[in-house]
Amino acid sequence: MVRYLVTSALPYANGPIHFGHLVGAYLPADVYARTLRMQGEEVLLVCGTDEHGVAITIGAEREQQPYAEYVAHWRTKIKASFDLFGIEFDVWSGTSISPFHVELSQEFFTRLDERGYLIQREIEQLHCPRCVRFLADRYVEGTCPHCGYEAARGDECPRCAKWLDPLAMLHPRCKVCGSTPTRKQTRHWYLDLPRLRDDKIGAWASGHEWKPNVAKFVANQLAEIEPRPITRDMQWGVPVPAARAGEQQGKVLYVWFDAPIGYISFTREWAKAQGRPQAWKDWWQSPDTRLVHFIGKDNIPFHCIVFPAMLHGVGQQYVLPWQVPATEFYNLEGKKFSTSAGWTIPPEEFAAQFDVESGRFYLLASMPETADSDFRWDEFQRTHNSLLADVIGNLATRVLRFQDKHYAGRIPALEPSYEAELDRVLLTECGSFADPAAHVREFRFRRAAEQLIENARVANVFVDRLAPWALQKTNPAKAASVLATCCEWLAYLAQWMAPFMPAKAQSLWSMLGLEGLVAGQGWPTLPVPGRYRRQLSGRKLGPVSALFPKLDDASIAAAIDRLKQATRS
Residues within window 401-460 making contact with RNA, judged by CB under 7 A? 401-402, 405, 431, 446-447, 450, 457, 460
- Options 211, 244, 398, 539; binder of RNA; rule CB under 7 A: 398
Shortest spacing between CB 121 and RNA, in angstroms: 9
Secondary structure of residue 57 in the 3-state scheme:
helix
- Options 81, 98, 366, 481; binder of RNA; rule CB under 7 A: 366
Shortest spacing between CB 547 and RNA, in angstroms: 4
The site map against RNA for 468-507 (x = CB under 7 A) is xxx-------------------------------------
Q: Which helix (H) or strand (E) holds 481?
A: helix 476-497
Find, among 299, 372, 382, 379, the residue nearest to 331 by Cα: 372
d(CA 48, CA 23): 17
The site map against RNA for 38-77 (x = CB under 7 A) is ------------x-xxxx----------------------
- Options 103, 137, 199, 435; binder of RNA; rule CB under 7 A: 137
104 contacts RNA (rule: CB under 7 A): no
Residues 321-350 that bind RNA (CB under 7 A): 328-329, 336
Shortest spacing between CB 334 and RNA, in angstroms: 9
For residue 486, what are the CA distances in angstroms to 260, 378, 420, 422, 489? 48, 32, 14, 10, 5
- Options 65, 353, 397, 521; binder of RNA; rule CB under 7 A: 397
Pairing of strands 228-229, 231-232: unpaired
Q: Which helix (H) or strand (E) holds 74?
A: helix 67-84
Angle at 85 between CA 14 and CA 365, to 5 degrees: 105
> Which one of 198-206, 272-280, 372-380, 510-518 is the stretch in contact with RNA (CB under 7 A)?
372-380
Shortest spacing between CB 271 and RNA, in angstroms: 24
- Options 374, 477, 539, 566; binder of RNA; rule CB under 7 A: 374
217 contacts RNA (rule: CB under 7 A): yes
Find, among 456, 460, 438, the residue nearest to 447 by Cα: 438
Residues 519-558 that bind RNA (CB under 7 A): 546-550
113 contacts RNA (rule: CB under 7 A): no
Question: Nearer to RNA by C-beta: 353 or 394?
Answer: 394
Q: Cβ neighbours of residue 154 under 8 Å, at least 6 residues apart?
A: 126, 135, 136, 137, 138, 139, 140, 141, 142, 164, 166, 169, 172, 175
> Which one of 71-79, 134-142, 435-443, 556-564 is the stretch in contact with RNA (CB under 7 A)?
134-142
How would you write 15-32 as a 3-class SS string? Answer: CCCCHHHHHHHHHHHHHH
d(CA 144, CA 163): 10
> Which one of 67-75, 173-181, 281-289, 292-300 is the stretch in contact with RNA (CB under 7 A)?
292-300
Residues 197-216 that bind RNA (CB under 7 A): 213, 216
- Options 203, 273, 467, 526; binder of RNA; rule CB under 7 A: 467
Sign of the dihedral through C-alpha 100, 103, 106, 111: negative
Secondary structure of residue 547 in the 3-state scheme:
coil
Q: Which helix (H) or strand (E) holds 55?
A: helix 54-62
Residues 148-167 that bind RNA (CB under 7 A): 154-156, 161, 163
Pairing of strands 140-143, 326-327: unpaired
